[in-house]
Amino acid sequence: MDTLLALLRPVFLPLLKLKLEPPHLPEGTSLVRHLRPSPSWLAYRYLQTLFGLLNQFIGLGVVAVLLVVQLGRAGVALALVLGVVELFIVGFALVVTRVDYDLRHYLVGDRSLRVAQGAWRREEATLSYANVQNIEVLQGPLERLFGFKSLTVSTAGAGADPMHPQDSSHLVTLVGLENADELRELILGMLRQHKDSGLGEPVARAPGGLDVRRLEAVRDAALALRDAARSRRGTSSTST
């Protein structure tokens, strides 16, 4: 099937108007692991696509038979046209399924997770570990049969409204993973590492390992004390 789809791909790919460049992590984030769905997930998606077209196959078959019975040779010609249209639809659906598989990338960085997936409906998201709320591994009966799992990662946006937290939440599902449990532990390890070191942007340090933010706070406090002292001296002079 891969050989056939490779031949059909140049025909249908321009219709999708996709950019095929691989995704990248945000600047300043180092790649820890690059994952993709398993081949068994691709086989599952092929079967799912064909099964979704089954009713269409049956309907067009019934229409073709009726056309032949009612119209004779003209019905045969129309049935052939319907067959060509159906083959076009099937080919397009299978190419979209394959391209969807090729475009799914899960990049695990040291500060965030980058997910790029989908061909017909393209989705790209970067999830900061600072906002991750829950990580869950899912596996249904069919997924168990084909030997893969899904991993869902839910986050909350910075500055979320406490009265309506669902408005700023975001859920991303990484499908077709053979090692979903291992990936979950890896992400949890990243979360623990960031909680131990402090979430958010890296803290700038002056030469010698001093915290620049603390130095700035001390400077601001000293300036405030100086201004307060000058103000008091000015008030005392006026009173005298």
Distance separating alpha carbons of residues 29 and 113, to the nearest angstrom: 10
Same domain, 100 and 118: yes
Same domain, 112 and 220: no
Counted domains in the chain = 2
Same domain, 234 and 187: no
Confidence of residue 85 (pLDDT cuts 50, 70, 90): confident
Q: Does residue 221 surpass a pLDDT of 80?
A: no
pLDDT digits (tens, 9 = 90+) for 169-220: 578 899 999 999 999 999 888 888 877 665 444 444 444 445 555 666 667 7
| Parent domain of 141 | 2-197
Distance separating alpha carbons of residues 148 and 139, to the nearest angstrom: 7
> Has this prediction a pTM greater than 0.75?
no
Same domain, 193 and 209: no
CATH of the domain at 91: 2.30.29.30
Same domain, 66 and 165: yes
* pLDDT confidence of residue 16: 65
- Return the residue matching tokens 């004779």: 72
Instruction: Give me the helices (H) in the chain, please.
Output: 2-16, 39-52, 54-71, 73-102, 141-146, 180-197, 212-239
Q: Does residue 41 surpass a pLDDT of 80?
A: yes
